[in-house]
Structure formats: structure tokens, C-alpha cells
């Protein structure tokens, strides 16, 4: 038992679990502060349990080094605003930038001890499948078995929401089957990142189950995901295109028959029934915010939920990447450049190795940036990124 606990494989699997624990806010059992405390506690445990002698085996390319340096500069800038203007939200965002650095360090310390990147990526995709499977079970519990929740809990500060806990998941709103995830877009793109890896390793049954679960979410991101899936099929030529279209058709029909209103909800996120025109709800919502010039160094700030945050009125919106740009203005250039350089460098390497599913998997986190949050703050992304980098290094 002691040998297993001291094994880097245990640490890697623990880091995988913690990354999903963090993105789901403790699988919707804990509030934000409790999640961060538990996350740090377990990361410290893994830190103590890690062997750092082989961290040098990982190739620190220029893109990652540039990114880490930019994080340090951005954190210092945010701390300056925290001190000078007593803006506690700056301190929170600075924390969310630095936490992934510690997480990346632990990944690097434990990834060079004979852990096969293919096997680890399979673990990642299977974990996303399990969440998809639990999501479908919750759908059955609610829609067909008519179960009542075991208990409810109110979580969130910007948009407080009551979550109803069932045996295999939580329901935040009626007919929004996004088990353990706060928003449909979070669920779609993170599950999709595992879906494409399932395709790579030919876990087709698990991929089909994940596909059905994604459609059940009713997110406006579903059509975009389906288009990417179709384009990948055409470009990669690994799957028969007509079989893929048949599977998609059966999935959509099954969703229509079993979840009344799901497809309509997806449709109306892109189409305004009043004006009969294409309309993207998220963009309209952002543009509806009014502008406030709170600081000469800051860009105009959209106040989506106008509240006081222990000081000046700032962007009270959950996407901390957009907050950084709005708050720091020109001083946010390092994080914009380094983030872009990091992803472009990764895509170039992956495409040269013809690992198209892996490139598409990372693309999911780029798309998540525009709907919910940037990959800069998502521990799940860094788990995926590090082991994709390890795999591409191995194939060189």
C-alpha cells in the first residue's frame, strides 16, 4: 500500500481527479472557498509525495517558458491594483493564475517516471466518459423514474443557483442535464475534449455515449461541436462519413424523443423567434452591458452583474481572462501573446505528427474561452496539455 501511494502513477491519477474536482466545484458539494482549500490541501499532499529528481526530463520549450514568465508579470500587475485600489477581485484573479503554475509543476514532477502518455490520455478520456455516463443516468432518474432529489444546496456568488443532488449527478435547472458542471458550455467542451480522444483510441461505444450526453445538455455549443466532429471525420478519414452521419442522426432523434424541448432550446440559442434572424445569445448578452470608465489604465468594463466588489465597480463576470484584459488594458498584452503562442506552437507540433484528434481536443478549450473561461485557469486543460506534449515528444 505504501509503495502504491509513493508511486508517481498514484500522483498522476490524483492530479487528474483533483482537476475535475476543481472544475466541477467539488462535484457541486462545496462552495468556492471550500473547493480551493481542499484543492490546495491535496496538491500539498502530492507535493510532499512527489520525487522531483526527474522534472528535468520534461522539455521546457520556449512557448511554455514565455507563458510562465508572462503569468508572473500579470500576477504582479494584478497585485499592484489590489494594493493601490483595494480591489480584492484582482487578488482572486491573481490566485487563479498562480494555482495552475503549482499544478503544472506537480504534473512535470510526476510525468517523467515511466508514465506512458498514451495510457494517461486514455485515463483522461475514460474519466470524461464516466461523467457522461453519470449524466445520462441522472437524465433517466429524473425523466423516466421521476425520482426526487436527495438534497439541495445553494452555491455561487455572482449567480447563486440551487442544485438538486440525485444519485448520479446534480440538476441546476429543469431539463439542463449537465451533471456536476455549472454551465452547459463547461460540460460540452470538457466532455468533448475527452470524446475526441476516445475516437483516437477507438473507444467507439464510450464515444457514442458521450455524444448523446453532450446533446442532452441543450447547450448552444452543441451545433459547433457537431460541425467540428463532422469536419474531423472528413479530414481525418478514419471513420466512414456516412456511418458518422447515421450515428449523428440517431443521436439527435433519440434526444428529441427522450428529452422534450432539448433540440428546440439548442436551436433558439442561435435563432431569435421574434425577429426571425440568426442571433447568438451570449454575444447579445455581452453587448447589453453598459460601459464604465473606472480607471484610466483599464479598458471599458462591461458590468454584466452590476455590484460592488469591495471598492470600485468592476467586471463582475466569471471569465477571468476577459476580466484581466478589461482591468489591465495594455498591461494584459503578455498573457494574450503568450497564451496565443503556446496554443499555436502546440497545434503546429500536433498537426505535424498527424495527431488530429489531440489537436481537436485542445481546440475545445479555446472555444471554452469564448463561452465560459480561459484555459489559463482550468487545471483539466493543463493535465491534457502536458501529456499531449509528452506524447508528441515521444513521437519525434
State pLDDT tens for residues 49-68: 887 766 655 566 788 899 99
* DSSP states of 347-359: HHHHHHTT-HHHH
Q: 296: pLDDT confidence band, cut at 50, 70 and 90? A: very low
pLDDT at 154 over 60: yes
Given this model, what pLDDT does residue 85 score? 81
Given this model, what pLDDT does residue 318 score? 61
CA distance 82 to 196: 41
User: Whole-model pTM?
Assistant: 0.87
pLDDT at 373 over 80: yes
Given this model, what pLDDT does residue 111 score? 83
pLDDT at 37 over 50: yes
> 147-173 burial, b for 16+ CB within 10 Å, e for fewer?
eebeeeeebeeeeeeebbbbebbbbbe
Q: Is the dihedral of CA 376, 379, 383, 386 positive or negative?
A: positive
Task: Work out the mean pLDDT of the chain and round it to a whole number.
Answer: 83
Residues ≥6 apart with Cβ < 8 Å to 276: none
Q: 302: pLDDT confidence band, cut at 50, 70 and 90? A: very low
Mean pLDDT throughout 147-175? Answer: 88
Given this model, what pLDDT does residue 271 score? 67
pLDDT at 34 over 60: yes
For 333-341, which contacts have Cβ atoms below 8 Å and span 24 or more sequence positions? 334/69, 334/70, 334/73, 334/74, 335/70, 335/71, 335/74, 335/376, 337/66, 337/70, 338/63, 338/66, 338/67, 338/69, 338/70, 338/71, 339/67, 339/70, 339/374, 339/375, 339/376, 341/63, 341/66, 341/67
First to last CA, the chain: 36
Given this model, what pLDDT does residue 312 score? 37
pLDDT at 313 over 60: no
Given this model, what pLDDT does residue 1 score? 46
Given this model, what pLDDT does residue 349 score? 92
Q: 143: pLDDT confidence band, cut at 50, 70 and 90? A: confident
pLDDT at 308 over 50: no
Per DSSP, what are the bridge partners of residue 302? Answer: 291
How distant is the alpha carbon of residue 21 from its chain centre? 12
Given this model, what pLDDT does residue 60 score? 66
Percentage of the chain surpassing pLDDT 90? 52
Residues ≥6 apart with Cβ < 8 Å to 205: none
* DSSP states of 299-338: PPEE-SS----SSS-----S-HHHHHHHHHGGGGHHHHHH
Mean pLDDT throughout 12-41? Answer: 96
- pLDDT tens, position by position, 210-248: 999 999 888 888 899 999 998 888 887 777 777 787 788
pLDDT at 279 over 80: no
CB atoms within 10 A of CB 65: 11
Given this model, what pLDDT does residue 55 score? 64
Amino acid at each position: 500500500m505504501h509503495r502504491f501511494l509513493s508511486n508517481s502513477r498514484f500522483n498522476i491519477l490524483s492530479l487528474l481527479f483533483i482537476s475535475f474536482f476543481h472544475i466541477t466545484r467539488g462535484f457541486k458539494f462545496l462552495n468556492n472557498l471550500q473547493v480551493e482549500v481542499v484543492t490546495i490541501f491535496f496538491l500539498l499532499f502530492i507535493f510532499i509525495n512527489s520525487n522531483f529528481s526527474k522534472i528535468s526530463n520534461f522539455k521546457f520549450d520556449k512557448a511554455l517558458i514565455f507563458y510562465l514568465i508572462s503569468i508572473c508579470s500579470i500576477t504582479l500587475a494584478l497585485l499592484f491594483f489590489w494594493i493601490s485600489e483595494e480591489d480584492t477581485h484582482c487578488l482572486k484573479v491573481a490566485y487563479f493564475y498562480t494555482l495552475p503554475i503549482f499544478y503544472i509543476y506537480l504534473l512535470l514532477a510526476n510525468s517523467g517516471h515511466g508514465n506512458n502518455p498514451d495510457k494517461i490520455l486514455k485515463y483522461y478520456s475514460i474519466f470524461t466518459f464516466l461523467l457522461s455516463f453519470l449524466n445520462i443516468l441522472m437524465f433517466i432518474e429524473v425523466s423516466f423514474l421521476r425520482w426526487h432529489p436527495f438534497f439541495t444546496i445553494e452555491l455561487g456568488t455572482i449567480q447563486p443557483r440551487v442544485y438538486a443532488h440525485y444519485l448520479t449527478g446534480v440538476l441546476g435547472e429543469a431539463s439542463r442535464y449537465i451533471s456536476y458542471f455549472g454551465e452547459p458550455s463547461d460540460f460540452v467542451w470538457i466532455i468533448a475534449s475527452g470524446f475526441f480522444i476516445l475516437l483516437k483510441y477507438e473507444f467507439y461505444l464510450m464515444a457514442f455515449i458521450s455524444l448523446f450526453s453532450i446533446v442532452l445538455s441543450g447547450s448552444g455549443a452543441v451545433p459547433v461541436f457537431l460541425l467540428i466532429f463532422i469536419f474531423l471525420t472528413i479530414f481525418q478519414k478514419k471513420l466512414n462519413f456516412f456511418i458518422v452521419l447515421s450515428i449523428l442522426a440517431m443521436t439527435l432523434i433519440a434526444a428529441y424523443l427522450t428529452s422534450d424541448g432539448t433540440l428546440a432550446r439548442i436551436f433558439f440559442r442561435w435563432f431569435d423567434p421574434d425577429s426571425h434572424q440568426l442571433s447568438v445569445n451570449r454575444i447579445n448578452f455581452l453587448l447589453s452591458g453598459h460601459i464604465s470608465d473606472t480607471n484610466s489604465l483599464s479598458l471599458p468594463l462591461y458590468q454584466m452583474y452590476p455590484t460592488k466588489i469591495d471598492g470600485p465597480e468592476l467586471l463582475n463576470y466569471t471569465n477571468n481572462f476577459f476580466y484581466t484584459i478589461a482591468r489591465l488594458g495594455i498591461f494584459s498584452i503578455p498573457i494574450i501573446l503568450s497564451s496565443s503562442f503556446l496554443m499555436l506552437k502546440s497545434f503546429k507540433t500536433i498537426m505535424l505528427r498527424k495527431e488530429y484528434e489531440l489537436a481537436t481536443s485542445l481546440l475545445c478549450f479555446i472555444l471554452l474561452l469564448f463561452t465560459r473561461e480561459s484555459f489559463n485557469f482550468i487545471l483539466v486543460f493543463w493535465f491534457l496539455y502536458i501529456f499531449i506534449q509528452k506524447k508528441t515528444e515521444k513521437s519525434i
